[in-house]
Structure 1
């Protein structure tokens, strides 16, 4: 069985490969076990971010021997602060409920102080016993917080964790706290599982470490300026959030504009060309335009209705749009409906005077007129309507209905 990866092996693997695999800076200072104010960083990586601004990266290496520092445990400080804050909220709530006067009742003051102290102790004990997630932390991540750096990593060996759930929790806590996670295999290769979140990009953290002048000389020989991969990723996320915010603001502005002033994009069917003029009355129920307005694959022509009843001594006129065979009459009817002219009706051409009874179908406007003058006026109005909507009249004349009582056979 292979020996477990040691912390020293993990340190040297990170020091040898992290810059070349991830940061790719020509001039970089890399060292292991660098001290700052009695705190030791396992790996320190430094390079120039801009001409006079060094960028510091620290890595904390952990192996199976120090796995206890990678487990989620109750943070005593967080539990105590949770108890204090909840107790303070309890005291403020009681004071507001009972209308407490701070400066005129010493007994109540002592009582509330006692409630605060006892409440803090009890709530802290409850939070600790319940092991609530917000009151727990990983000591290795807290340890990284004591090292001044722009980016922080935790490096572990691939054999460090036996329990996959513990590794999942570590990965989740690293993402939550903005800490990077590196997994090292037995050949020293790096696998970057989590990219860190940059912190205070232009702060000079290098001054907190010893040998700053020596480090600046090393990283200033052939510097390669520019943002790190973590910075570029963060900037992309920020630009995306800004674009989404601008899109949301623009949408709200459009909604407000439409509500107060009118539609941003006008309705194309509100154009006056598609309206039936007020002086033209087309009676009859509106009919929906067919799915095939161009007549391809039309159904067989419907049989023409009987002639409308006209008395022997009665005179009746209609404005005929077209006299066509049955199938062509259907196409004309569909064309008129698609143009917004509705209300037409069919009747046999034999029902009309001065029109040969050839078995064709006549389309008329649906209105009957009692005099020739009224019919001619309606004829002129109808021709003007067809001209406005861009349709050519096929017959477009006022014709008298037969009143001899005959019907077409």
Structure 2
């Protein structure tokens, strides 16, 4: 284990960024936010929407919006394509640029000069008071105390780092007891994950698994059960051991995990045809981490979504933003759709995963945010009623976005 004190990074040049992977949920509230994204960490507190900001990326810039009214607070210049990940401290967002993970202060607002250098910045995970960055270019994990990020002044706080043997598109999470769970792979393939304990100046391996081809994404459910997606199911880490959960199909890829830390059930995006064109999906994986079961639910023909279109919300339900323009409410306990809220106009799936297309991000409370690129708009939606509580029309087409929420 190494510690380093990170100081000012160079401002990001206005250049495009080359990413190593496709179809990652970077949104924090999909978590989420977001591969990660969200995409998808659920450590965010049930904050009052009026106390937060929403960062929205567009070609060449980032708009910072008021979380309650969605009024434009500030527009900031950035790069042609950036990815956004909440830092988990209630104030900052990490922006993936050509220089690395650049810190956006949504309170100022300002795109600061503070950068964690990376040739290929990847997933950001928030859990147990830690904000964990993963550098795909060097397979380096950087672990910040989330509370320290909230009070950053002039330089980034001290961080703990871990570097994997081979660079790959990966993700790491640190658990409450300090265990670091991180993916294993190289530039051509990914095979599984390893759990490590810090010991003086090194990390000791406590468990590992090579049974998760194409490992991607991460989510933490109730009782700190960690789930990763595989090309043939999912990989579960609980109580110091890995368990492989097989998909019902020969090829059954789960790429992103949408979780609630008060529910044992993980909702995963799911694809069973490796040759299917486009990025629209018609099934979800439901993983019960308590019973170690994986089931697949086929959605109705009118319900199609991408990796940006699922979030968790009130009562631990899942909310799927479909191409028909509605949010479809899924009960993970039964696998049944229990409600539908028309929100935006019908839309088509993207040609490339980076292309702007509708997305949804939860807040940990009743409100979720929905982007509508065709109308250059962002909407706030009450997930308990389907009411649109606020809308803003931007001068630019919204692409990715992140909610600056804090942890419990």
Identify the TM-score tier after normalising by the shorter chain: under 0.3
Query: How high is the TM-score relative to the length of structure 1?
Result: 0.18
Higher helix share: 1
Higher strand share: 2
Query: How high is the TM-score relative to the length of structure 2?
Result: 0.18
